[in-house]
Amino acid sequence: MQVITVPVTPFMQNARFITCQSSGKSAIIDPGGDTDKLLAQIKQRDLNIEFILLTHGHLDHVGAADELKSALGIDIIGPHKDEKFWFDALPMQSQMFGFAPKMPFYPDRWLDDKEQINLGDMVLDILHCPGHTPGHVVFYHKASSQVLVGDVLFRGSVGRTDFPKGDASQLKQSILEQLFSLPDDTVVLSGHGENTTIGYEKQNNPFVSGRFG
């Protein structure tokens, strides 16, 4: 799996283009904003975009999804249906995050835990990881040992749980049971900041070890 990262919005959210190298088919994960910037990348790199994947419904991760859907004629897939609350609340999120007004929109398809998505010859496993938000999912590509985790896990940190419907104990459970079940050499591609690995976070993440709650 080839990954191209394009930070977008003042929140420096890591929008990702993932590509199946054998088929040349691509997808966009978490296009949080800056639609023109993302469209320019698609044109420059001549990407064959099949669909948009969303880890969760926070505006800094979904802000350009509906515009890209219209521009490219593709579907929005994910997250889990428990995330509908945050899509309903997009107008409120616009005010909360200081974004331009955003009307509600919804995925063409919700995802379930242990479901799989095919992109060309690649298979992505879906893991439901609530806590940061109730319907948060992550996308795991076993063949290349990479997992796209949105805002569940960061290098040395974890996602915030002080937003509505956040749950710190649930987030910790998601990390321990879902993410930490993956091999230690799995590369973690987070929604903000630098990459890390499952093994590094097992050994060093203070929020998961109990040192910080």
**Mean pLDDT across the stretch 72-100?**
95
At 211 the pLDDT is: 59
In angstroms, the CA 195 to CA 135 distance is: 23
Locus of tokens 């003042």:
10
Q: Once rounded to an integer, what is the mean pLDDT over residues 150-161?
A: 97
- Does 212 score more than 60 pLDDT? no
* pLDDT (mean) for 141-166: 97
φ/ψ bin of 98: left (φ > 0), alpha (ψ from -120 to 50), beta (otherwise): left
pLDDT digits (tens, 9 = 90+) for 79-91: 999 999 999 999 9
Is pLDDT above 50 for 210? yes
Write the DSSP string, 100-131: PP------SB---TT-EEEETTEEEEEEE--S
Indicate the domain borders of the chain.
2-209
Q: How far apart are the first and last CA of the chain?
A: 35
pTM equals: 0.96
Q: Domain 2-209 classified CATH 3.40.50.300?
A: no
Query: Is the predicted pLDDT of residue 97 greater than 90, yes or no?
Result: no
pLDDT value at residue 213: 47
